[in-house]
Amino acid sequence: MHRIVVTGAGVVSCFGVGLDKFEKAIFSGKSGIGRISNFDASEYPCRIAAELPEYDSTPYLSPKDARRYDRYIVAAVTASKTAFEMSGVDMEKEDKSRVGIYISSGIGGLDTLLKEGRSLLNKGFRRVSPFFIPNAVVNMASGVVAMETDAQGPNFSIVSACASSTHSIGEAFRNLRSGYSDVILAGGSETSVNEFGVSGFCSMKAISFNFNDEPERGSRPFDARRDGFVIGEGAAALVLETLEHSQARGANILAEIVGYGASADAYHITAPAPEGRGAQQAIRAAIAEAGIEPSEIGYINAHGTSTPLNDKNETIAVKAVFGDYARELPISSTKSMHGHLLGAAGAIEAIASIMALNRQELPPTINYENPDPECDLDYVPNVARKHSFEYALSNSFGFGGQNAVLILKRWRE
């Protein structure tokens, strides 16, 4: 079985394009959440989000394609090309059939669905764009990235709600370990802040209603006043490759992926299984594959959505897996700063975990002000913390009871 390393990463988030902006924000405890500006949300019970700001996409796509594609596709291409650039992968020197693209999305082209739905209802079927279906389907981000990079290996999109991009990274890891490919770019993209997306989550009462006048305080994982997640937008991509391949081309290695676990709650369409049963199973599977003891995990990047049920059940799951050690194990949720990127959440949080490993510093959970007796672990409250550790665990849990967990290891020569 091959060892698998990460050699490149790209991020487009509420903080803008680039790893540097993202890293600076999350380690300084900066919130990227503000009032919704994509549409008039003044009558909505939730009026806050971590929106993707406008940016110049011409370095990554032609102006024609940038206008034609849905925002989630443009964001995916942006993150992917910056990740490839960082990795130094030269497609002219690669066997292109052994370079794959696994980019996920929980929803896909929601802007397109809204726009073309309006065209159908207001103007009739003849006014529906021929680009409607290609822009709306979830797999098109992977397809377009392949076209833009000429990667001709396995190409698909796993859709498992908020666990989607963690599943993509994990399945890429499995493919590479077995020797089917040399390089796979894996990640996720989501742009769901529009009338459709916000209406749906408002109807579910899944998002925060109580902090519209203080947007930056709305995402507060594990805090007693948490009342729902805050939608985030963006894309994140990681370049994974076998250790042999990366060393042969002299690549700079960011981290090693050593474990992956996946499970199903088989319980409810939105609520987690009692006591985080499925989460426990996925965490244990990842630790077993890594071949380490639970006590060797030095940090958990939590799913930590700021919803009452997730944060309580994730805490229970951590206690069940780690026992007494759970009290010593630092946990934080970067969603408190960049919001919940849904299908892209796992990928951006895996990158945050890699940054933490390389900095030997933990990003904080901001807005942790009111302790909850049911959430009583060390959530790295409000301020980043220096910390020496070798292994990070990143949790992702999705609607439908779909769970995915990664274990990343600090890279040392």
What letter does residue 291 receive in the DSSP assignment?
Answer: T
Assess if residue 348 is contained within a domain: yes
Whether 191 has a pLDDT exceeding 80, the answer reads yes
Assess if residue 410 is contained within a domain: no
Assess if residue 413 is contained within a domain: no
Cα 144 to Cα 132, 240, 260: the distances in Å are 15, 19, 27
277-290 helix and 308-322 helix, angle to the nearest 10 degrees: 40
Q: If pLDDT is split at 50, 70 and 90, which confidence band does 202 have?
A: very high
Whether 413 has a pLDDT exceeding 80, the answer reads no
Range of the structural domain that residue 46 is part of: 1-401
In this structure, the chain runs to a length of: 413
Residue 311: which CATH number?
3.40.47.10
Structure confidence at residue 266 (pLDDT): 96
pTM metric for this prediction: 0.97
Q: For residue 407, how far is the Cα from the chain centroid?
A: 15
Structure confidence at residue 207 (pLDDT): 98
Please give the Cα distance from 260 to 256 (Å, whole number): 12
Whether 178 has a pLDDT exceeding 90, the answer reads yes
Taking alpha carbons only, the member of 191, 120, 187 closest to residue 354 is 187
Annotation marks residue 46 as catalytic: no
Whether 55 has a pLDDT exceeding 80, the answer reads yes
Please state the rounded mean pLDDT for residues 388-408: 98
Catalytic residue among 167, 245, 338, 340: 340
Assess if residue 412 is contained within a domain: no
Q: For residue 206, how far is the Cα from the chain centroid?
A: 18
Number of domains in the chain: 1
Annotation marks residue 162 as catalytic: yes
Cα 208 to Cα 146, 227, 234, 308, 349: the distances in Å are 37, 5, 19, 11, 21
Q: If pLDDT is split at 50, 70 and 90, which confidence band does 365 have?
A: very high
Structure confidence at residue 184 (pLDDT): 98
Strand intervals (E) in 135-290: 155-156, 183-190, 234-242, 255-264
Q: What is the DSSP string of 55-93?
A: ---TTTS-HHHHHHS-HHHHHHHHHHHHHHHHHT--GGG
Amino acid at 246: S
Taking alpha carbons only, the member of 310, 291, 286 closest to residue 221 is 310
Structure confidence at residue 116 (pLDDT): 95
pLDDT tens digits, one per residue of 264-321: 999 999 999 999 999 999 999 999 999 999 999 999 999 999 999 999 999 999 999 9
Assess if residue 21 is contained within a domain: yes
Q: If pLDDT is split at 50, 70 and 90, which confidence band does 249 have?
A: very high
pLDDT tens digits, one per residue of 383-397: 999 999 999 999 999
Helix, strand, coil shares of the chain, percent, nearest 5, are 40, 25, 40
Please state the rounded mean pLDDT for residues 136-162: 97
The tokens describing 194, both together, are 């529009």
147-186 in b/e form (b: 16+ CB < 10 A) is: ebbebbbbbbbbbbbbbbbbbbbbbbbebbbeeebbbbbb
Structure confidence at residue 268 (pLDDT): 96
Assess if residue 302 is contained within a domain: yes
Assess if residue 157 is contained within a domain: yes
Catalytic residue among 167, 303, 338, 375: 303
Annotation marks residue 375 as catalytic: no
User: Average pLDDT over the chain, rounded to whole?
Assistant: 97
Helices and strands in the chain, H and E counts:
13, 15
Assess if residue 407 is contained within a domain: no
Catalytic residue among 14, 46, 162, 375: 162
Please give the Cα distance from 313 to 65 (Å, whole number): 43
Please state the rounded mean pLDDT for residues 21-42: 98
Sign for the CA dihedral angle at 196, 201, 202, 203 comes to positive
Taking alpha carbons only, the member of 244, 227, 99, 224 closest to residue 172 is 99
Residues 6+ apart with CB under 8 A from 65: none
Q: If pLDDT is split at 50, 70 and 90, which confidence band does 412 have?
A: confident
Q: What is the DSSP string of 34-47?
A: EE--SS--TTSS--
